[in-house]
Amino acid sequence: MVLRTPDSAAGAAGLAAILDRPREASLAFDFDGVLSPIVADPGQSRPFPGMVAALGRLAELIGSVSIITGRPVEAVLRLGDLGDLAALEHFAIFGLYGMQRWDWESRSVVSEPVPPGVAAARAELPALLDRPHLRGVAVEDKAMSVAVHTRRADEPQAALEALREPLRELAGRHGLALEPGRMVLELRPPGVDKGHALEAIVGRHRARSVAYFGDDLGDLAAFDAVERLREAGVAGLKVCSGSDEVPQLAARADLIVDGPPGVLEFLEGLNERLK
């Protein structure tokens, strides 16, 4: 299995540092679009075949392996059938952009309090979405945030655009932020992002190198964090899974791989070099 070289010098230095001292490295992955192929129904997401086993092998070789996701931790554990992985000390899950984390020692989910405003915003959604041109738009209730999905609407992009302003107004009225993603608009508390979660992981493990694998707009904050960490002397690698739907992320990546199959190929190459 060939391990691809990143396109940028900084990315190549990040990968070299991971290979050189794997126990001092932290690797973090987004779930949907990176570990799991994008599907129309979020309830049907499943990791790409072979991905969980590859992550498990990696978690035995690398200082820390984490999933940082916009999903609740429980959803990722269930959809990914990650029970065995979650039992590994070097594996962690940060859910809801860092508002939740899987605590390995107590084998439980630690959550921040449910943000005020979410319940009130959620209650207004049915009336706002009850329009013929929004047929097929679906709400995903994540308890601490609410995601409005347009992928199954008759015209997904048009529905996304039509909803952007009304949802921004709704979020603002309830003290929430509106965060866009792949055919989704999410109402969640301001000030939480994947970058803070990634920096916390690197700090906790005193990592000397880091790699982050993302595919969506919510992953830009994690790419920002990799760049900040580089400035602080931690070697870093930014990998984008797929380049079409979110060109803003692809433009910032050191390496673009071909969706979850490309992520798996990279991980298998890494595992082979590390064993």
Ligand X SMILES: O=P(O)(O)OC[C@H]1O[C@H](O[C@H]2O[C@H](CO)[C@@H](O)[C@H](O)[C@H]2O)[C@H](O)[C@@H](O)[C@@H]1O
Least distance (Å) from ligand X to the CB of residue 218? 5
Among residues 182, 205, 230, 238, the one that binds ligand X under rule CB under 6 A:
182
Is 199 a binding residue for ligand X by CB under 6 A? The answer is: no
Least distance (Å) from ligand X to the CB of residue 247? 16
Distance CA 27, CA 2 (A): 19
Distance CA 153, CA 41 (A): 11
Least distance (Å) from ligand X to the CB of residue 233? 27
Binding-site size, ligand X (CB under 6 A): 24
Among residues 6, 63, 70, 260, the one that binds ligand X under rule CB under 6 A:
70
Among residues 80, 181, 236, 242, the one that binds ligand X under rule CB under 6 A:
181
Is 74 a binding residue for ligand X by CB under 6 A? The answer is: no
Alpha carbon of 53 to those of 78, 83, 137, 221, 231: distances in Å?
A: 16, 12, 34, 28, 33
Is 183 a binding residue for ligand X by CB under 6 A? The answer is: yes
Least distance (Å) from ligand X to the CB of residue 86? 16
Using CB under 6 A as the criterion, what x/- string covers residues 24-63 for binding ligand X? Answer: ------xxxx----xxx-x--x------------------
Is 184 a binding residue for ligand X by CB under 6 A? The answer is: yes
Using CB under 6 A as the criterion, what x/- string covers residues 136-155 for binding ligand X? Answer: ----x-x----x-x-x----
Do residues 33 and 259 touch, judged by C-beta distance below 8 A? Answer: yes
Q: How many residues does the chain have?
A: 275
> 236 or 259: whose CB is closer to ligand X?
259
Residues that bind ligand X (CB under 6 A): 30-33, 38-40, 42, 45, 69-71, 140, 142, 147, 149, 151, 181-184, 186, 216, 218
